[in-house]
Homo-oligomer: A and B are copies of this chain.
Amino acid sequence: MNTNYTISNYLLERLQEVGISHLFGVPGDYVLDFLDAVMASPLCWVGTCNELNAGYAADGYARMNGIAAAVVTYGVGGLSIINATAGAYAEQVPMIVISGAPPSKRREAGALVHHLVANYQLQLDLFRKVTADAVMITNPDTAPAEIDRVLTTCIQRKLPGYIEIPADMAVTPCRRPAAPLPMPKAASDPVALTRCVSTAAAFFNRSSSPILLAGVELMRHDLGAATLKLVETAEIPFATMLSSKALLPELHPQFIGIYQGAWSRDNVKRQVESSDCVISLGAWKTDLDTGMFSGNLDDRRVISACAGKVAVGGQCFENVQLNDFVEALLPALEPRSYLTSHPTQARELAPPFVARAQTPLAATRLYECIDDYLDDQMVLLVEPGDAFCAAPEFFVEEAENFIIQPYYAAIGFCTPAALGVALARSGKRPVILTGDGALQMTVQEISTLIRQHCPAIMIVVNNDGYLIERKLHEDGMYNDIQMWQYAGLPAVFGNGSDAVRGTRVTTEEELVAALDAARDTSKFHLIEAWLPGRDCSPGLDRLGATFRQQTK
């Protein structure tokens, strides 16, 4: 046994230090030495069926855990996980990609080794474009500082990073960490901070109908609790967005709903757009977050903090970090019992779902039933497709119990991401709301959910093809897909285990029975919900109408 302390040991020690307990990935010969060190470490190895899925799993893990890492081999592995890395970059999720590489002597000789594309710099070059920092380890003396730099940058900037370790470097000795990982915080300009907070507070304190719009950056920077304190102390009603749904608990009396431009419920749109002071924190103006840019917010009525900048009524302040702004704003706001005089128009909870006898399943009823079924021990993951459109209406009781990738919007994300969610939150159950097209992308990771004993509930809305594309655009045969026996998948991937259950439901009563059976947390459950005839949520119809109008 090698008793030397190696570069692999160093990296693994730092990964544990920043809070990573699980590594996702696929072995390959250039990374086996590193994996040997993983096996000898306290980190838990989670093999996935392919590398793209390892990336999605790590992304899901990072969304719950704050950071994650995935391990792949060179070329075939690295370039398969790059799409997941790009998604993490777009959505600001810190995920470290660790790639094996051919040993240094091969690189130095320019040898034509398997998995090489064109030259030995190529993979590093590609990853530089989809990460905050990327490095190829070539020197044990500089490796510790390089590893520290990548980790620090990713954590601070909430972006993915890339560390390439040639096979020989994985077993090369290096120094141990001399001190805890340096983690200097991104600093605000103190003058700008003071000025923008006083300007914002004055603006707020003279407003009559303030509202807080809580955006996704609050989630990434773990500012949910601070935001909750802010709205409760200052007594401000609040809305969230598609990308920040469930940042705050949705049964909170001050919660008014999801703001999504013209796609919002009427009372949400009215309250947000008529407010004379919208405190918009960490909100991205992406197409799906704004109802295809249909929001109507006048900058003169907005206090906006996002991407290291603050604007108050159009006046800009540079170099102000979101966390500093939220912290400093709280004591400066005057609570004014606003809620007493202007009760928010919270959405009423739907009555409990009761199945109607012998009634074929319809989309609206399916979603009502799922909304009713969810509890605070479940984390809902929703795929692009009808799930994206139906889920904003669900009430998610507990903060952080909702996962969506609404900006990068990769179909197939949720099945592997659920693996990461389940391992990051072992006390909770992932509930995956997916479609038939999305499931087919990454279906094999059902196998890993079963292998890792994740008590997930997967609801496959089988609407016989890419329904969202049929709605966005005149339908074409390219939206048709092969029909599968979806309910048969758990038995095949579970190798006949008792710990899986697959059910196909076509009526309301069958749905309720399947969901009742899924309360058995000792099993992985797949429920195929048969929804033929292009039946969908009102949200998808609205999305389709907007798309068709905009592309006319």
Contact = CB atoms under 8 A, between A and B. Distances in A.
Nearest to A550: B103
A50 B288 contact: no
Interface string A438-460: 00111110011011000000000
B495 A483 contact: yes
Interface string A59-86: 0000000000000000110011011001
A29 B495 contact: no
Contacts of A495: 482-485
Contacts of A29: 468-469, 472-473, 547
Contact of A114 (B79, B103, B407): B407
A530 interface: no
Given A86-B75, A112-B287, A447-B440, A484 B476 contact: no
Interface in A168-203: none
A371 B318 CA distance: 70
Interface string A466-507: 101100111011111111110011011101100000000000
A103 B440 CA distance: 28
Contacts of A330: none
Contacts of A444: 440-441, 443-444
A484 B293 contact: no
Contacts of A426: none
Interface string A21-46: 00000011100110110110000010
A420 interface: no
Contacts of A549: none
A425 interface: no
Q: How many copies does the complex hold?
A: 2
A338 interface: no
Interface stretch (A115-123, A265-273, A296-304, A509-517): A115-123
Contact of A112 (B50, B284, B489): B284
Interface residues of A, number: 87
Contacts of A288: 114
B80 A83 contact: yes
Contact of A408 (B115, B285, B412): B115
A440 B76 CA distance: 15
A112 B285 contact: yes
A336 to B, nearest CB: 34
A50 B441 CA distance: 5
A145 interface: no
Contacts of A86: 75, 79, 117
B408 A113 contact: no
A89 interface: yes
A513 B70 CA distance: 43
Interface in A88-145: 89-90, 103, 111-118, 122, 125-126, 129-130
A308 to B, nearest CB: 16
A307 to B, nearest CB: 11
A52 interface: yes
Nearest to A466: B27
Contact of A117 (B130, B285, B406): B130
Contacts of A493: 482, 484
Contact of A478 (B45, B103, B118): B45
Contacts of A341: none
A100 to B, nearest CB: 11
A167 B551 contact: yes
A473 B473 CA distance: 52
Task: Name the residue in A103, A384, A406, A492 with the highest tally of chain B Cβ atoms < 10 Å from its Cβ.
Answer: A492
Task: Name the residue in A38, A448, A473 with the highest tally of chain B Cβ atoms < 10 Å from its Cβ.
Answer: A473
B478 A27 contact: yes
B287 A113 contact: yes
A47 interface: yes
A83 B89 contact: no
Given A27-B469, A444-B444, 12 more contacts: A27-B479, A36-B476, A39-B476, A47-B480, A52-B80, A75-B86, A82-B83, A114-B409, A115-B408, A117-B130, A117-B408, A122-B129
- Top 10 closest pairs, chain A to chain B, by CB: A79-B83, A76-B410, A112-B286, A451-B482, A49-B440, A114-B409, A32-B473, A50-B441, A488-B492, A483-B495
12 contacts: A27-B466, A29-B469, A29-B472, A35-B478, A49-B440, A50-B412, A79-B86, A89-B117, A112-B286, A112-B407, A115-B408, A116-B408
Interface of A: 27-29, 32-33, 35-36, 38-39, 45, 47, 49-50, 52, 75-76, 79-80, 82-83, 86-87, 89-90, 103, 111-118, 122, 125-126, 129-130, 167, 284-288, 293, 384, 406-412, 440-444, 447-448, 450-451, 466, 468-469, 472-474, 476-485, 488-489, 491-493, 495-496, 547, 551
